Amino acid sequence: MYTAPVLIAGEWRQAAECGRFQPTNPSTANTIDRTYPVSNWSDCDSALDAAGAAANTLKKVPAESRSRFLELYADAIEASADELCALAHEETGLPLEPRLRSVELPRTTGQLRAAAQAARDHSWTRATLDTTANIRSMHAPIGPVMIFGPNNFPFAFNGVAGGDFAAAIAAGNPVIAKAHNAHPGTCLKLAKLAFQALMDADLPLATVQLLFGIGREDGCRMMADKRLGAGTFTGSRRAGLALKQAADKVGTPFYAELSSINPVVMLPGALREHGEALAGEFALSCLMGTGQFCTNPGLVVVPANNDGELFIARCGELFDSTEPGTLLSAGTQQGLQRAIAQLREAGATLATNSTPVNEPRFCIPNTLLTVRGSEFLSSPEAFQTEAFGNAALMVISESTEQTADILRSLEGNLTGCIYSASDGTDDQRYEIIEPILRGKVGRLLNDKMPTGVAVSPAMNHGGPFPASGHPGFTAVGVPASVVRFSKLDCYDNVRPHRLPPLLQDENPLNAWRSVDGNWTREPI
Amino acid sequence: MYTAPVLIAGEWRQAAECGRFQPTNPSTANTIDRTYPVSNWSDCDSALDAAGAAANTLKKVPAESRSRFLELYADAIEASADELCALAHEETGLPLEPRLRSVELPRTTGQLRAAAQAARDHSWTRATLDTTANIRSMHAPIGPVMIFGPNNFPFAFNGVAGGDFAAAIAAGNPVIAKAHNAHPGTCLKLAKLAFQALMDADLPLATVQLLFGIGREDGCRMMADKRLGAGTFTGSRRAGLALKQAADKVGTPFYAELSSINPVVMLPGALREHGEALAGEFALSCLMGTGQFCTNPGLVVVPANNDGELFIARCGELFDSTEPGTLLSAGTQQGLQRAIAQLREAGATLATNSTPVNEPRFCIPNTLLTVRGSEFLSSPEAFQTEAFGNAALMVISESTEQTADILRSLEGNLTGCIYSASDGTDDQRYEIIEPILRGKVGRLLNDKMPTGVAVSPAMNHGGPFPASGHPGFTAVGVPASVVRFSKLDCYDNVRPHRLPPLLQDENPLNAWRSVDGNWTREPI
């Protein structure tokens, strides 16, 4: 049986394997006729060695070569868009249009190009010069980065093409990507394009490596390996915490995105003014991608009044009348069913028709649950169970004070939204709840659903634990996301000709630098 | 028996205690006649509650009040300098002059004033605006910060007055300081001055809290408490790792400085040109403060030639002819003796006279050890045992290649120094070893010993593990050290009047901001 090769040390080779797997087409529940290897430790070990060597070589390569690689790669992805989208659709069930072809693929190439720009303009290095003390510092590559991509973005968060990948490369680090088991064919095709782009840009060929399966123990062993500079993980809390623990033990920076239910607060005036429109906005956001977004609005706080009741009823109708999307995998479906069962056991009640969908694909009915605020507060942990997919929980709050208590009981989240009246009648309520929500989330929104995550220098796709592992970093947005993959390099009294160009008096790279407390692009 | 009060929730009160302790005067080995409490969990719990409330209040207080507090506190420290230095001398044995009075105390007040300036100019917030997408972000307070200060800097790294304290307050966070057991009287006096300054600046009184002893288990429990925003620790690796593990488990940022031997490489040309002067420079740096600096040069790589032999011999003479300083505590003395024994067991030989000092104080003879490069490479871990105090290990290297191998075998360190010839004859050697050393350290120096840690915006007092817990952050240098105690707050589509002043179009605080990729202080 043909098994796909892994990419290690600049070679496509048969894995040193300890198992094999085949992905499943979520739209048919049929096994896809392609086989991928589970690598054993010797593959991991070889990849770490090769990545270490590539990291050293990359230090001597001009930043422009990294930019060129990222741009050639983006071009290649666009040129192969049809094939990539067909593969990704087959493996994830995500709609070809607009999702994969018109949204996620352009986003991915946009991220690669933004990272190319950051590599070129050196904005992520935050060069800082103290001319009096003759001390100079800048952020510099951290070393090989291991990336575990998630199941829900086959392009934009892919370990071998997504935001973490682009950021790690922009900072001058080689990447070891672990393909997600659910879409290995997409990963393989992307890695082939990346490999060609590496050759065309004349970068070390081990700058990008790809493994398919690896055992959980080997994953932890890699994270604890001294040859690794940093790790990232986007996915389930349990798997992420095991990797994080391994990395933390040896002080290796590990950026994890573990879970988020993205609270939305509907203040009374907002629903009074345009509750019906907001129901449409919410349903669209919540069911988009079958609800399988990190920033999916999974918890909505609604006032206990007539407007609130109408809003919930309208959302329920929209959920019932919208065709349920396909879920990414059997595991996603099981996890979602389990989470809904847990929420119902805790006391949430159904606000939608839950007739099972009788189709040979992975899906469940769009599901809306409700719970009274007092009940939520009696077991806030249970009601924060993440239902990853096309489901959400509405919490009916008796008062602004109760809403404040509900927000106080929340764990860290990626986003938090507040909808309020346009005429200022909610402003007092806003002032009470905003500071509480602000402390719990990375990104605070007004009058807007959280599912759009713009690739902006000002974006924060991160937040307090467990949304992420460190609330000071973002996984989306350039140059901030690039800084995650850096170490701070200080030069004290180093002779001028030995300084990196970024820190030389003449500023030969024309970069923004903080010189004696002022940001400037001028030479000294 | 009178026991000093703890400072909790704005009150000086008797501790809920589970034990008591008395410090020791290291210059006489006599117990000091003052008693301090070991708090039980109820004190820790009260402090966490009060800190949480103070954190909320601080958000509403203008930054100028924090600046004023830091400056009033610095003034008060200067006004009480005599008393503080006498206390610190009694408790640490560090020389009154120049160390405590003319170096460390002015450094400490300088740090407080630099932090005041950062709070005032908001440079640490790194405000970033994307005017097209209307997304804006800034670094904001992370929440209560728990600080475990070290034994070796009773002022400059003190939990209630040092760099971490100043940075945490500058970012708008309350501090819970754990006094170091070796100098509780100094901590108490400092906390009293801080408390008065809090009242004068009209800040929440629980902005600064002080505990003396707490059990190891309670320390870990505090680090794992949801009310805490971040923690810092400077000290022994064992205690630090226990706290770090507790913090990591719940995703609380924890900044630890755990150990560093600060390698120095003497290239052949440097010793040929002025070996004798360099011996003097090294001995001065290594014996300063009885070698009890985080950046003490503990490992020196010397060429295996006549200049190297002369250099080692001269260093040995200087070590022997310099009066051994007093060590901070009986524990420091025991730890140093143990480390030297371990180095000797591993195969290092003495290059100094080791006649014990027969005086009733904590001290050991200045100790220089040597080992051949090949032997070092046979057990590099053992030879990296940190000998915290007036001791160092010289490694005699046969070749540039051997020096490269020695550097490759090192753990992460705070600093690394390279001395080279002024005439360029060492430049080829420099090019071989610099990339290796660069990857292992936070601060790279040329022709200069590492013990001076300037308070500069470009400083990095940090480095790869175990020098610190994350190689992207510095514990010294403003504003970079302040950013550690922040979370990234993003505002997406938030209505203009609800934005924090820093992110408003008008830039009312006149701060440096990155607007659409360019740094500017102009309004939009």
| Cα separation of the two ends of chain B | 64
Whether the per-residue pLDDT at B436 is higher than 90: the answer is yes
What one-letter code names the amino acid at A109? T
* Separation of alpha carbons B133 and B135, rounded Å: 5
A254 chain-B contacts, CB cut-off 8 A: none
Whether the per-residue pLDDT at B20 is higher than 90: the answer is yes
In B399-434, which positions are buried (b, 16+ CB within 10 angstroms) versus exposed (e)?
ebebbbbbbebbbbbbbbbbbbbeeeebbebbeebb
Backbone angles phi, psi at B406, to 5 degrees: -60, -45
Q: Is B431 a catalytic residue?
A: no
* Mean of pLDDT over chain A: 97
Which helix (DSSP H) or strand (DSSP E) does residue B522 occupy? Answer: none
Please indicate whether, in this complex, the C-beta atoms of A480 and B469 are within 8 angstroms of each other.
Answer: no
The token duo for A319 is: 């959920």
Whether the per-residue pLDDT at B1 is higher than 80: the answer is no
* Mean of pLDDT over chain B: 97
Whether the per-residue pLDDT at A355 is higher than 90: the answer is no
**pLDDT band at residue A341 under the 50/70/90 scheme:** very high
β-strand pairing of A145-148 with A175-178:
parallel
pLDDT over 70 percentage in chain B: 100
β-strand pairing of A128-130 with A135-141:
antiparallel
**Domains of chain B from N-terminus onward:** 6-124+142-258+471-483 (3.40.605.10), 263-446 (3.40.309.10)
* A519 closest CA partner among A123, A214, A188, A155: A123
Whether the per-residue pLDDT at B470 is higher than 80: the answer is yes
The token duo for A165 is: 């990948």
**Mutation target vs A (from B132, B225, B419, B487; most A CBs, 10 A cutoff):** B487
* Separation of alpha carbons A283 and A297, rounded Å: 9
- Mean pLDDT over B475-480 rounds to 94
Whether the per-residue pLDDT at B250 is higher than 90: the answer is yes
- Mean pLDDT over B313-323 rounds to 97
Asked if residue B205 lies in contact with residue B57, where contact means CB atoms within 8 angstroms, the answer is no
Backbone angles phi, psi at B340, to 5 degrees: -65, -40
**pLDDT band at residue B357 under the 50/70/90 scheme:** confident
The tens digit of pLDDT for each residue in A407-441 reads 999 999 999 999 999 999 999 999 999 999 999 99
pLDDT score, position B59: 95
Residue B37 C-alpha, separation from nearest chain A C-alpha, in angstroms? 32
Whether the per-residue pLDDT at A52 is higher than 90: the answer is yes
**pLDDT band at residue A326 under the 50/70/90 scheme:** very high
Q: Is A367 left (phi over 0), alpha (psi -120 to 50) or beta?
A: beta
- Which chain A residue has the Cα nearest residue B436? A56
**Residue A349 in 3-state DSSP?**
strand
The token duo for A312 is: 């919930």
Whether the per-residue pLDDT at B376 is higher than 90: the answer is yes
pLDDT over 90 percentage in chain B: 98
Whether the per-residue pLDDT at A1 is higher than 80: the answer is no
In B274-312, which positions are buried (b, 16+ CB within 10 angstroms) versus exposed (e)?
ebeebbebbbebbbbbbbbbbbbbbbbbbbbeebbbebb
* Separation of alpha carbons A136 and B59, rounded Å: 33
* Separation of alpha carbons B524 and B519, rounded Å: 12
* Separation of alpha carbons A242 and A238, rounded Å: 7
Q: Is B506 a catalytic residue?
A: no
Alpha-carbon separation of residue A423 from A269, A420, A426 (angstroms): 8, 9, 8
What one-letter code names the amino acid at A514? S
Give this prediction's pTM: 0.97
Q: Where are the alpha helices (DSSP H) in A122-234?
A: 163-170, 184-201, 216-223
Asked if residue B29 lies in contact with residue B52, where contact means CB atoms within 8 angstroms, the answer is no
**pLDDT band at residue A263 under the 50/70/90 scheme:** very high
Which helix (DSSP H) or strand (DSSP E) does residue A502 occupy? Answer: none
A129 chain-B contacts, CB cut-off 8 A: 458
Backbone angles phi, psi at A107, to 5 degrees: -60, -40
* Separation of alpha carbons B150 and A464, rounded Å: 28
pLDDT score, position B356: 85
pLDDT score, position A356: 85
Strands (E), A420-503: 441-446, 486-492
pLDDT score, position A499: 98
**pLDDT band at residue A354 under the 50/70/90 scheme:** confident
Whether the CA torsion A128, A129, A130, A134 is positive or negative: it is positive
The token duo for A155 is: 């392009």
Please indicate whether, in this complex, the C-beta atoms of A490 and B435 are within 8 angstroms of each other.
Answer: no
pLDDT score, position A518: 94
The tens digit of pLDDT for each residue in A59-87 reads 999 999 999 999 999 999 999 999 999 99
Whether the per-residue pLDDT at B361 is higher than 80: the answer is yes
The token duo for A38 is: 């589970």
Residue B409 C-alpha, separation from nearest chain A C-alpha, in angstroms? 11
